[in-house]
Amino acid sequence: MARSVLVTGGNRGIGLAIARELAAAGDAVAVTYRSGEPPEGLFGVRCDVTSMSDVESAFDKIEAEQGPVEVLVANAGVTKDTLLAMMKEETFTDVIDANLTGAYRVAKRAIRPMMKLKRGRVILVSSVVALAGSAGQTNYAASKAGLIGFGRSMAREYGSRGITVNVVAPGFVDTDMTADLDVAAIIKNIPLGRQAAPGEIARVVRFLASDDASYITGAVIPVDGGLGMGH
């Protein structure tokens, strides 16, 4: 039977590439979306990860449609960049709420059914800036670093239940999130000399969700063209 997968923020960008990759591998894939229409061929559930009641009702719908979530990809994320000296408290807490507390909300809702299944895969989408830091992104980097401690703690809590928890740390990926950045300036620091395509992140997530990754948990996997080397 197809595994039940949820990719948050799977309606575009890296999340959509992950959703398509897992669907092509034979999984039943649900994605969250906040507005408009969900992508063709995927089960869309309207859900803002900053709302626990949205998360609850999304999981209820997914469980009814395709069974308990066996692979959870917490990918939804936002940036609100500005220097700390200018950063309002809500600019900090909004980003933490979506990127870190959002992952808590979906993982919290997913974990009991996974424990019952006695198997599960949780993959958290962090960033190279979690460990390297990034000027103008104290809020975002803190949220992404938080995912590492969160994920590793989960890995320790649920390893004995057959659940693995891993973190993927992409570098500079060609999506809406990076559309306004100065590509030429950034790629100077990337050993591979280019941005990643979303599919290059998706294929690593597919591996972590597969049987081939059965003995990997608590890992932080850089997918950054060498940008974060040494961290």
Number of H helices, E strands in the chain: 8, 7
> Treating both helix axes as pointing N-terminal to C-terminal, what angle do 102-117 and 52-66 enclose, rounded to 10 degrees?
30
- Report the C-alpha gap between 222 and 170 in whole angstroms: 6
Nearest to 144 by CA among 122, 121, 171, 163: 171
Token reading at 122: 């949780």
Confirm whether 215 is a catalytic residue: no
Least separation in angstroms between residue 94's CB and ligand NDP is: 9
Least separation in angstroms between residue 129's CB and ligand NDP is: 7
Return the number of the residue (96 or 216) whose C-beta is nearest ligand NDP: 96
- Report the C-alpha gap between 147 and 182 in whole angstroms: 26
Return the number of the residue (111 or 205) whose C-beta is nearest ligand NDP: 205
- Report the C-alpha gap between 68 and 109 in whole angstroms: 10
Least separation in angstroms between residue 221's CB and ligand NDP is: 12
Q: Site residues (CB under 6 A) for ligand NDP? A: 8-9, 11-15, 32-35, 48-50, 75-78, 98, 102, 125, 127, 170, 172-173, 175-178
Task: Fill in the DSSP letter of residue 182.
Answer: -
Query: Which listed residue (33, 104, 140, 158) is catalytic?
Result: 140
Return the number of the residue (42 or 111) whose C-beta is nearest ligand NDP: 42
SS percent in the chain: helix, strand, coil, step 5? 45, 15, 35
Return the number of the residue (4 or 11) whose C-beta is nearest ligand NDP: 11
Return the number of the residue (32 or 139) whose C-beta is nearest ligand NDP: 32
Least separation in angstroms between residue 67's CB and ligand NDP is: 22
Which residues have C-beta within 8 Å of that of residue 75, sequence separation ≥ 6? Answer: 7, 8, 9, 10, 14, 15, 18, 125
Least separation in angstroms between residue 163's CB and ligand NDP is: 21
Which residues have C-beta within 8 Å of that of residue 127, sequence separation ≥ 6? Answer: 140, 141, 144, 169, 170
Q: Which residues are catalytic?
A: 140
